[in-house]
Each structure stands twice: as C-alpha cells, then as structure tokens.
Structure 1
Amino acid sequence: MELHIRLDGRKGLADQLYQQLRAGIDSGHLAAGTQLPPTRLLAAQLGVSRKTVAEAYSRLTYENLLSGVVGRGTFITPRVPLPSGEARTVPLAAAATLQRWQQRATVLAGRGQEAPSRYDFVGGASSKAQFPFDQWRSCLNYALRRSQRHPERQFAAQGLPELREAIAHHIAYARGVHCSAADILVSNGAQQALDLIARVLVEPGCQVAMEDPGYPPARQLFLAQGAKVQSVPVDDQGMCVSHIADGTRLIYVTPSHQFPLGMPMSEPRRHALLARAAELGAVIIEDDYDCEFRYQGPPADALQRLDRHGLVAYVGTFSKTLLPELRLGYAVLPPAVLGAASVAKHLSDWHSPTLLQWALARFIAEGHLNKHIRRCHDIYSARRARILARLDDDLSPWLSAVPASAGFHLSALAQPGVDIGLLTKLARNVQVGLYSLAPFFSQAPVRPGLLMGFGAIELLDIDPALDRVRDTLQMLS
C-alpha cells in the first residue's frame, strides 16, 4: 500500500514516522487489517535506514496497534471498541421505524445462509450449466464498445429504447402481452418493479389484496409501505376473486403459475378478476415470474392481454430465465402508472445499469434468448416429468403433486400424518434440500407440503435424491 509520510530534517525520524502512523491508525485512515509495507521497502521509499522503520513498527506493536503474522507481514490490529459513552445511548427518533424494517426479513432471504445440499430442490433457481456464456460474453463486449463511443452521459430512467423494444417483441411472442416499447419500464429485477409500483400506488392504511399462500417478499413490501394486506384464499382455479374486499387499491396475483402451489388461474376466474378490479378502480400486478416454460396444453396468454381498462401492471424478469446475477426485470405499466413509476425509478437509482441493458438488448435481438429458452424447456421438461413419475409411484403414499403446467417448480402436498418439518430436517442430514410450503401461508390454514424446484438439480440427480427422500419417509412411517 502507499503511505503518505513526510519526514522533516534528519533527527527524530523514527519518532516522526511513529507519530504519523499512529495518527493514521487513530483517525481511521489506516483501517484495521491493513497490511503495512515491509520495513526494507518502506525504508527505501522514505530514504531512511531500515532500523528507523523497524523502531517505529516496534513501538506500535508494543502498543498493540500492529501485529506481525509469520510469513505474511505486518498488519494493523483491530481496535477494541470503546465503552459506550453517554452520546451513544441517545435513543434515535426513528428507532421504531428501523425496528419495523428489521422485522421485514423474508423466508426467502435466509436460504443463501445455509450450506447447499448435494441434491437441492430449491425453487426459483435455474442451472448455470445451460447458460450460453460465450454468447453473453460477446454481447458484453459489444456493450463495452457501444459505451466507448456513446456521447451521452445521462440515460432515461425508463430504460434504453433498444432494450424496451426487444422486450416488447419478446413478451408479445412468448406471453401474448399487448404493448409497445413506450409502455415498458426496465428495473433491477422484478422486485424493484414491485417496489416502484407499490411506491406510487400504496399509502399508509390503504388496502392491498394478494393470494394466500403467496410470495412473501411482495407481502413484506406492501406492509413496509404501510398497507393493510388482505390475504385472499386460492382454490384449484386460482385466487378467489369474490373474497377481495371493498376499498382495495392494489391486487397482487400470479395467474399463470400460482406461487407457490403452481396451478394456473382459470379463464372464468381471470375475467372475474378483471371485472372486480374495474369495479374497484384497483390496479392488478400480474407477476409472471417463470411462465416462459410451459409443458402441456396450449400456451396461456398473460392476464394483461385480456385487460380493456388499463388496470394490469405486468411484471417480468430475466433473473430466472437467464442468470440470477443479471438482476434485470421490467414492468409493462398502464399509462396512468407509468409516468409516476418512472419518476420513482429516477429518484431511486436514476436508471438500471446501461452496460447490462445494451448487452441484453443485443442478446435478445440476435436470438440467443429464444434459443436458450427452447434448450432449457426440454431440460426442465424432462426433470419435471421425472419428479412427477416418482410422486405418482413410490412416493405416492406420502406426497401428491399439485397440477401445474408451467414454470420450473411444482408443489407436492403431504398425505395426512406426514410431518413435513421433520422430513425437511432429516432430508438435509442426508444431503437433500427440501423446502416446506408452510412459510408461504399467512392467514389461510397451512396445507402441509413441499415446494420442489427442478431448475437447479440435474436430471441424473433426481432419482438418487428422491430415493433418499423415500427412505426417510419410510423411516418416519
């Protein structure tokens, strides 16, 4: 590291060096853990003898400000925090607000803290083995070249026009969404899109309706905005629209692949939902998080396509289709919402990363996205079929699949007497990651079962994993 040391004269050099290093440590400019240059190197840089530097280091080491690690060098010792003084005990005026935010931790946030199992049925995760890294690298290089010759320094909060145009064409083809590039807002993942919509529509005390069971981060987001969240039950046709309360301002729903159970919303229920929203003047958030993968029956268009009143805000993401690290999503917003959400986006982070937007626009335009989806469709379809076959066969005494035709997870409900909590615990002991449905329920009675993702587990791993699950269930019986 480079030290800013200035020595005056030729006397007291060791003391001068000591004082300046001590001041740097006390002020925090030399942070704990920082490695100092070797005595020989620093002496050469300062034009002094090595003995002078060694003497300064020795004094700091004696005071426990430096510590030597054999074979590695000399490091600044972490300081012991001073006892809390009177000034640090003053209660913050925002303490209650901070406490409420700390309580917003969600069930999905803790998964990354656990060591991954050998066989993992985690939901919402895709396999990186199928991702076309070479094509993506080429698109990133294109984005760098584009940035190098681009004269602008400011970009629209709504997103790059070429990316919005590419998204509009893609979702029209893949999901039947009726929109133009002007209707699209690019976001940092679907979660930011939800946040922006909630920020401009939700006020403390207003009513928001969402499915129960449902997506916990969306629920916590609405609660954090001060909303009263109504838990609307679901049945085999999706959200029970007749339960949506009067005065509701916002409705959150996953009609194509209900999260977490998996069944699609029926056509009559979709029309009923749109009619109820029109009656209330409520905006519907359609979270279409993974429905580019469909395995049986004719393709079901998005709910947004049926909207005739400008009430549906369609939210999608590339984090699940491509890579979770990408963190790019989008929202197709009604005109009444788009302007306000664009302002909120600008105030939040100005715009999503331009380099990634250029790269993704190129990736879509060159056909890599559709090729990737087609390739993954066959892979996910085989994995899904294998899990369903096992659920219908030797696992049927304990688990039964919920009918689902899209996405890359399915749910399996437990037969009476199966202790799902104990099963997930014992399964982890044999290196199988299983995930209970219980955390996704809020007020509705919990339906014991498992959320079984097949995006991140290889086909050849499914049978060995489910053999261990079967053996564990037999032990519990």
Structure 2
Amino acid sequence: MELHVVIEGRKDLTGQLYGQLKDAIRSGRLAGGEQLPPTRLLAEQLGLSRKTVAEAYARLTYDQLLVGRTGIGTFVSKGMATRPAPQRTEDLAGAAVAAQWGRMATPLRHAIQDAQARFEYIGGAPSAALFPAEDWRRCMSHAMRESAKSRGFYGPAEGLPALRQAIARHIAFSRGVQCAADDVIVTAGAQQALDLVARVLVSPGSVVAIEEPGYPPMRYLLEAQGARVVGVPVDDEGIVVDAIPAGTRFIYVTPAHQFPLGMPVSQARRIALLRRAQELGAVVVEDDFDSEFRYTGRPTETLFSLDTRGTVAYVGTFSKTMSPQLRLGYLVAPPSIRDAVATAKHLTDSHTPPMQQWALARFIDDGLLVKHIRRCHAAYALRREKLIARFAGDLAPWFEVVVPAAGFHMAALCRQPVDIGLLISLARRVDVGLYPLAPFFHFTPPQEGLLMGFGAIDSLDIDPSLDRVRDILTQIA
C-alpha cells in the first residue's frame, strides 16, 4: 500500500515531506501505532533520495511523533490522534430519507453475535458442530480450480449454470418443485431473494399482506419500499385467507413451517390462498426456509407445485441446511417477474460470489447435501423430542408448545402469566440463552412465550439447561 504524499517541485523536499507527514499524524489520518513504509521504499515511491526521507523521519522522531523499533520499522507514536469521525451534515438533500433508514428497527440483526450463553436456544441457527467441514473443503478446492478457468471475469447475475441446475434437481427431489434451471436465480441468502421480489413488485402505496405474527425483517423491508403492509392473522391451519384485503399486490407466507409459531398451512387453506391470489392478481411469495427437516406426517405440497397460473415465487435458502455464513439462497421466479428480478439482481450486486457457487454445485451433485441433511435431521429429531417431553412434563405448568412438524424451532406459549423479560435475564445469568416470542407480533397484542430454537444446542445439553429454567420459573412464578 502506498502512503499518500504529494511532493511539488524540487524545493525543500525534506520540509515538504516532514510537513505532510506531520499533518497526517496530527489530523489522525495516520493513527497511533500505524507503521510507515521503510525509507528506501517511500523514497522509490516519491522519486526522492533515501537521505531526504530519512531526515524527515528523524525530525518527526525528534518531535516524538514517530518511534523507531530496531529490526522492525518506524511507527506513529502511540497516543497520537485517531482518525476523526466525519461530521454530520444535517442539510443534505437526502437527510430525511437517510434519517428514516437510520430510525428503522433491525430485528434479529445481532442475534447470532449476541448468542454467548453455553446453552443456546437461539432460533434459525443450524448446528455448527454438524457442518461438513472436510467435504466442504474438498468442494472449495474444486471451486478454486473452476474459478481459475474464468480468468477473473464477472459471473452471470442469475447465478452459475452449474449451481442453478443443481438447485433445480435438488428441490425437485426434496420438495417436489418442478422447474427448469433457467427459472432459478441464485441469491445472497433468502433475504436478498425477498428484497428482489419486493423491488420489482412494490411501489409506494402498494398493499402487501404478511402473516401475523411473522418475520419482522420482511415487514421492515416492505415498508422501506413504501408499501402499506397489512398483517393477516394465522390460526391452526395457517394464514386466514378471508382476511387478505382487497387490492393486495403481494402475499408473503411461510406455509410449510409458519414463522414463528410453527404450524403448517393445511391443504384446503393452500388451495384457497392460491385462488384468492388469482382473484387479486397478487404474487404469492412462498418462503420455504427450513421445510427439508420434516418429522411427522406426509410431506406437504409446496404452493409452487400447486400453482397452475404462475403466481407463486418460491424462495429457499442454504442458511438453514448448511450455514448462514455461506450467504447462499435462491428464488424460483414465475415467468411474469423472472426478467425483472434478474435485472434487479444485476443492478444491485452484479452477481453472487462464484467461488461458493462452484463449491455448492459440487456439494449437491456429489450427493453430499442430501447426506448432510439426513445427518442433521437425525440430530434435530432427537432434540425436538427432548424439548417436547420437557414441555409436556415439568415445564407444562408454565408453557405449552406448538409442536412443529418441520424445521428446528418451536414456540412455547405461556399457560399462565410469566415475566418473560425477567426469565430471560435470570436464565442468561446461569448460561442459558432464551428468546421472547413477543417481537414477532406487530399488528395484534403479542402472545407471551419463548421461541425455542434447537439447532444450536446439543441434545445432551437440553435437560441440564431446562432444569435451570424450571428452577428459575419455580422462584419467580
């Protein structure tokens, strides 16, 4: 990295260099502890003699602005000014819009980073211990070889053909979603897929229906696009179709495993939802985020599979089956919006990083994803059974769980008044991470309870951690 110094003419070269470095240190552009280039290197970069640079360094050292370390180099003295924060300008033309974004809530933004307890029941986090590191490392080696062949060019916005084909085959096998590779758009997780659909369908004032309770980031995303977001209640059969208002342009649902309560949408309700969407001319966005982990009953048909009119956009993610750190998801777009979504994808981020795409394509094609899902399924099924048993046993006086047929979280609803905030605070003191259900309600009074994720906790830790929760409940209830 070159040090930014401008030398003009050939007069007082040492003074010019000394003055610019001094100003950079005083202003904080060169922070305390930062290493300067060796005198020989800086002299070559600036077209100066090494003696000139050495003299400037010597003067700065005499002023105690620099310090030399024998055999290591020259550094800015500790305690010098740090880089100043840029001043806030309140009269910017776009200040009101920027302020609106700044005030916007960011639910779930720091949840993973804040998960520091020994026993973690955080929702949406798969098991890091089960991640297939060796298999993935081999696939990344393959990806590096394939990437070298591209000569560093940009990739297609829709995703690499190899991965789009692999995803199409995988979801046909695992979820019965029949689509061509050209229908698949690779995204940076499900969140980008949702954002892309919102970008091409929503304009200020558009009516958008989402589940209540539901996924908070989706509501904020739609509101940021200027949509009028309407919460539609859910019952034991899922979203209440009759409550979807006239004029709705966009319907967001999680039919296989409702987030956060966990019930699936019944077959009759699915058909009714598609019929209602056709009446309205609305696109249904089906977020199928963790349905590959199914424990009871027959697999439910996706809305996409039932759709005969091209009204369903199907969203999937590898954040739940693999790891959220991969940032890989996909959208199966209906023909009516496919080109628009591809254009939006190109304009917003050009393309998803190809290295991970090559690796994931190989991972899927070699059968490693199916193998990994089966391994995780066995582990999650055991954890699910343990949680159900405890909430049906000694925790039953306080909570009732909505038993999930799929996924790796469940909702525990309060049977009697419980100070959830106090429970969470006291549980954290004994190294148990619990999370409230209330933040997922917005349009209606919240149901008090807990969102119990069982992806990040080992099965052997469930009983001892819930013993601590029970003891706290006994004391505060």
CA distance in 1: counterparts of 2:451 and 2:385, whole angstroms? 16
Structure 1: distance between partners of 2:185 and 2:86: 49
Inter-partner Cα distance in structure 2 for 1:81 and 1:355 = 37
In the alignment, what sits opposite 1:296? Answer: 296
| 1:170 match | 170
- 1:233 aligned counterpart, secondary structure: strand
Which residue identity does 1:393 align to in structure 2? G
Three-state SS of the structure 1 residue aligned to 2:300 is coil
Sequence identity, in percent? 55
Q: What's the secondary structure of 1:185's corresponding residue? A: strand
Query: How far is the alpha carbon of 1:58 from its aligned partner?
Result: 3.0
Distance 1:393 1:342, change over 3 A: same
**Quick one: structure 1 residues 407 and 94, their matched pair in 2 at CA, closer, same or farther if it must change by over 3 Å?**
same
Residue 74 of structure 1 corresponds to: 75
CA contact (8 A) 1:17 1:56 kept: no
**2: CA distance between counterparts of 1:4 and 1:97?**
34
Q: In 2, Cα distance between the equivalents of 1:438 and 1:231?
A: 15
Using the alignment, how far apart are the partners of 1:93 and 1:2 within structure 2? 35
Secondary structure of residue in 2 paired with 1:374: helix
Q: Please report how far the alpha carbon of residue 177 of structure 1 lies from its aligned counterpart in structure 2 after TM superposition.
A: 1.0
Deviations 1:249-278 (A, max 9, x none): 000000000000001011111111001000
Are 2:408 and 1:405 equivalent residues in the alignment?
Answer: no
Listed as ranges, the gaps of 5+ residues in structure 2 are: none
Cα deviation for residue 19 of structure 1 reads 2.7
Report the CA distance shift for 1:51/1:280 in structure 2 as closer, same or farther (over 3 A): closer
| Residue identity in the other structure for 1:75 | V
Corresponding residue of 2:424: 424
RMSD: 3.1
Is the Cα contact below 8 Å between 2:27 and 2:84 reproduced in 1? no
CA contact (8 A) 1:391 1:400 kept: yes
Give the distance between the partners of 1:30 and 1:51, measured in 2 at CA.
18
Instruction: Give the Cα–Cα distance (whole angstroms) in 2 for the partners of residues 358 and 239 of structure 1.
Output: 37
Who is 1:229 aligned against? 229
Q: Would you say the 8 A contact 2:31–2:76 is kept in 1?
A: no
Q: Which residue of the partner structure matches residue 239 of structure 2?
A: 239
Name the count of aligned residue pairs. Answer: 471
Range 289-298 or range 37-46, more displaced: 37-46
Give the CA deviation at 1:295. Answer: 0.7
- C-alpha contact (below 8 Å) 1:18/1:59 kept by paired residues: no
Letter in 1 for 2:213: P
Per the TM alignment, residue 118 of structure 1 is displaced from its structure 2 partner at its CA by 1.0
Q: Secondary structure at the match of 1:169?
A: helix
TM-superposed CA distance for 1:147, in Å, is 1.7
The answer to which of 305-314 and 175-184 deviates more is 175-184
| Letter paired with 2:367 | G
Partner amino acid for 1:159?
G
Q: Matches of residues 176-325 of structure 1 in structure 2 within 5 Å?
A: 176-325=176-325
Work out whether 1:57 is the aligned partner of 2:48: no
Secondary structure of the 2:260 match is coil
Query: How many angstroms apart in 1 are the aligned matches of 2:92 and 2:17?
Result: 41
Maintained 8 Å contact 2:128/2:323: yes
What does the per-residue CA deviation read over 1:397-416, in whole Å, with 9 as the maximum and x for residues that have no partner? 11111021100111110112
Q: Structure 1 regions of 5+ residues with no counterpart?
A: none
Could you tell me how far apart the structure 2 residues matched to 1:269 and 1:7 are?
A: 74
Q: What is the CA–CA distance in structure 2 between the aligned matches of 1:321 and 1:283, rounded to whole Å?
A: 26
Aligned to 1:22: 22
TM-score (norm: length of structure 2) = 0.91
1:56: how far off? Answer: 1.6
Specify whether residues 17 and 167 from structure 1 end up closer, same or farther in structure 2 by C-alpha distance, changes over 3 A only. same
Q: How much has 1:59 moved relative to structure 2?
A: 4.6
Q: Is contact 2:120-2:434 (8 Å) kept?
A: yes
Q: Is the 8 A contact 1:290 1:408 kept in 2?
A: yes
Q: Distance in 1 between matches of 2:253 and 2:56?
A: 67
User: Any idea what SS the aligned residue of 1:344 has?
Assistant: helix
CA distance in 2, matches of 1:155, 1:37: 37
1:444 is matched with: 444
Contact 1:196/1:345 (8 A) holds in 2: yes
- Residues 119, 457 of structure 2: 8 Å contact kept: yes
Which one-letter code corresponds to 2:310 in the other structure? G
CA distance in 1, matches of 2:128, 2:246: 45
**TM superposition shift of 1:190:** 0.4
SS at the partner of 2:421?
helix
Q: Distance in 2 between matches of 1:268 and 1:394?
A: 36
Q: TM-score, normalised by structure 1?
A: 0.91
Using the TM superposition, name which of 383-392 and 67-76 deviates more. 67-76
SS at match of 1:126: coil
Q: Are residues 1:146 and 2:146 paired?
A: yes
**Alpha-carbon deviation of 1:13?**
8.0
What is the letter of the counterpart of residue 76 of structure 2? F
